[in-house]
Amino acid sequence: MSETINREDLYLFQTGKARQAYLTFGCHYQKKTKTHRFTVWAPNAKSVSVVGDFNFWNPLAHPMKGDKDGIYTIEIEGLKKGDLYKYYVEGYDGICRYKSDPFAFYAECRPDTASKVWDFDDFKWSDKRFINQRKKRQAIDQPMSIYELHLGTWRMPQEEEREFYNYREIADMLIPYLQKMGYTHVELMPITEYPYDLSWGYQVTGYYGVTSRYGTPEDFNYMINELHKAGISVILDWVPAHFPRDEHGLAMFDGTHIYDHEDPRKGSQPDWGTLLFNYGKPEVQSFLISSAMFFADIYHVDGIRIDAVSAMLYLDFGKQEGEYVPNEDGTNINYEAVDFLRNLNEALRTTYEGFLTIAEESTAYPKVTSDIDDPDGLGFVYKWNMGYMHDSLYYMELDPLYRKDNHGAIIFSMDYAYSENYILPYSHDEVVHGKGSMINKMYGAYDEKFASLRTLYGFTIAHPGKKLLFMGGEFAQFVEWRDKEQLDWFLIDQYEMHDSFHEYVAKLNEIYKAHPAFYELDQDPAGFEWCLQRDADHSVVAFIRKSKRGRGRKQEQILCVCNFTPMEWDKYLIPLPKKSKLTKILDSSELDFGGDGDVSETKVSTKRVKVPSEGKATYQQCAQISLKPLSVVYYKIEEVEKKPRKTTAKKTETAKKVTKEVVEETKKAEPIKKAVQEKKPAPKSETSKKEDTKETTKTVTKEKEQPKKKVRKTRRTNKNKNQGVK
């Protein structure tokens, strides 16, 4: 950390350009003077002092010196790592408040709120190789299967005196689990310090400290380091949209609204009871951008997912008429927030190669994901596809009888799949507050629920876009997520169906990562082709996923077929673009996955089939498959190359050669012909001629009848023409 305060760094902070404000502000040990330097921004305060257990919380013991810009500083001797402290701020409004350090690296465990003296000199990283490979690992043409996790309730200690596991303990349990299940990334719900458990970390008071619920900063370092060594990337939920009104936090820090807006129509979020950041203040932009940079720099995280981006972008988000202030031109876009998001993405993506920024944005705001130099884009790498999540769950909650009338819900996502770089999330928000767990959202009785969820997950893995699943969904936990109890792990041990489903999700991740067709062209329409899009009557969809074309490598193609009804469609026809051989690589009806074992064909070859069309008949290659109830199957496609035909030129050349040989042979045979004619018997009678003619007519008639048999055979094949060929 910096030994002295650099005036240039202060200038960057005051102009919104700071990216490492944590090197200047907060508490830092000074090796030269063997003191701890405290620096805080409180521009409207009447006075500020440092209080703590080292001075018996006496406001008069260590007064800070402020400059004209409201930057207060002091150096204190004799402090040690772990000492508690706060700022005692006499505010502009005359009220004195004890405030936690906005830049504190560590704090007391709730309900206590004091900051702690801390540094990061003790931990030795060993993830350099992983960091160097991050750009390649996290490219958009690589697989991404994210496990969303709440640290406090994933697993909980059985001892009564312990509330939570330590970061290190969680790492040692979590890493082998993620490896077994085949996840590439883990996303942690907010671990920045927060006071209220039931906010799940989304109401932050400490933007530079990991929560003390699960251990120290070094413990968290250990967790990240070990995840990296295991090849697993780490994404943090990060919340720059709003903050709570807690007395010790950012609210009214110096007796004024330095972090939020003075006008409550701009500065409050009534739905959440929180305060909104004022992005128009350069110091606020510096504070927030430096927070995100801090976790990338100090903790080596690989990405952030920003919560509630819509609440940032729209002035009227969650507000009624009269509760917000529109722009002068009457629009509702928060242009200051747009500027902040662009600056944030540019800072992170240009400083850390391969770093991911992900937006939870629930509207159709344009160009959320874009290159950082796109003047019209926000610059995120990915966006959660909330539309896909809501539409697909709505569809699966329907009685299958009504799915044919709502077929658009399951196919509509492809109409906009390439408008952004998408992640397909089934997140924590969908399994709380009475919404039901993933398995309980599925329509039907016990077995049908599991079959439906297997089909949905199979469809999602094959659908363009990266993947995210909240914990518990991988073994079909029946109860909603409970934010005070651990997951129902006993289900896997005691119930075969849950254990089989658990294995199925692991198999899906294995297949997903093993086949480039599922991920290489997620953002390119060339990677997807519909085979059956509009067969609403059977509630069936079929499509092909394709990998990139490359030198020395065949393009991989995989057919995905989903039957969203509890009906079996026997001899169902799937049209394919070329003559092909299909080899099955996944069938959700397998016994090992909890199915009944009645599965679709293992190998299939396409046939040329007459298909309905306007005007004259057309023919197409089709695969005939027995589609099992509520199932998904994947087939690897191997196109059968046609034998090359002889060219017309070659045929003509051959014909000429044959003709020439025939002429020469004829000339040679002339003398023999004359001799034979002399010995030739008398002509047959007229009766014989008629019999010969009769026999010839019969032969011709039989030859003409042969194609008719083929036509009838084709008609029999077309009995199923209304099952799929649309």
Q: Measure the CA–CA gap between 26 and 37, rounded to whole angstroms.
A: 8
Q: Measure the CA–CA gap between 158 and 160, rounded to whole angstroms.
A: 6
Give the residue from 216, 280, 203 showing the smallest Cα distance to 242.
Answer: 203
**In this structure, are residues 382 and 466 in contact, taking their beta carbons and an 8 Å threshold?**
yes
Is 307 noted as a catalytic residue in this protein?
yes
Give the residue from 179, 689, 684, 139 showing the smallest Cα distance to 466.
Answer: 139
Give the residue from 402, 502, 483 showing the smallest Cα distance to 181.
Answer: 502
Q: Return phi, psi of residue 237, to 5°.
A: -70, 130
What distance lies between CA 630 and its chain's CA centroid? 24
* Catalytically annotated residue among 360, 420, 474, 535: 360
| Token pair 């729209």: residue | 314
**In this structure, are residues 587 and 425 in contact, taking their beta carbons and an 8 Å threshold?**
no
Instruction: Provide CB contacts within 8 A for 67, sequence distance 6+.
Output: none
Q: Measure the CA–CA gap between 359 and 356, rounded to whole angstroms.
A: 10
* Paired sense of beta strands 382-384 and 569-576, if any: unpaired
Q: Measure the CA–CA gap between 377 and 379, rounded to whole angstroms.
A: 5
- The enclosing H or E element of 85 equals strand 84-90
Give the residue from 452, 421, 284, 283 showing the smallest Cα distance to 357.
Answer: 421
Give the residue from 285, 294, 300, 287 showing the smallest Cα distance to 229.
Answer: 300
What distance lies between CA 520 and its chain's CA centroid? 14
Give the residue from 612, 623, 502, 639 showing the smallest Cα distance to 560.
Answer: 623
Q: Measure the CA–CA gap between 394 and 406, rounded to whole angstroms.
A: 9
Q: Measure the CA–CA gap between 218 and 79, rounded to whole angstroms.
A: 20
Give the residue from 48, 51, 71 showing the smallest Cα distance to 61.
Answer: 51
Q: Measure the CA–CA gap between 238 and 308, rounded to whole angstroms.
A: 10
Contacts 24+ apart (CB under 8 A), 314-318: 314/363, 315/266, 317/269, 318/269, 318/270, 318/271, 318/272
Residue 274 DSSP symbol? E
Is 69 noted as a catalytic residue in this protein?
no
- Cα distances (angstroms) measured from residue 688 to each of 149, 551, 684, 693, 700: 95, 70, 6, 9, 19
SS3 content of the chain, % helix, strand, coil (to 5): 35, 25, 40
* Catalytically annotated residue among 9, 193, 307, 336: 307
What distance lies between CA 303 and its chain's CA centroid? 13
Q: Measure the CA–CA gap between 254 and 90, rounded to whole angstroms.
A: 7
β-partners of residue 560 are 543, 634
* Torsion angle of C-alpha atoms 402, 407, 408, 414, degrees rounded to 10: 150
Q: Which residues are catalytic?
A: 307, 360
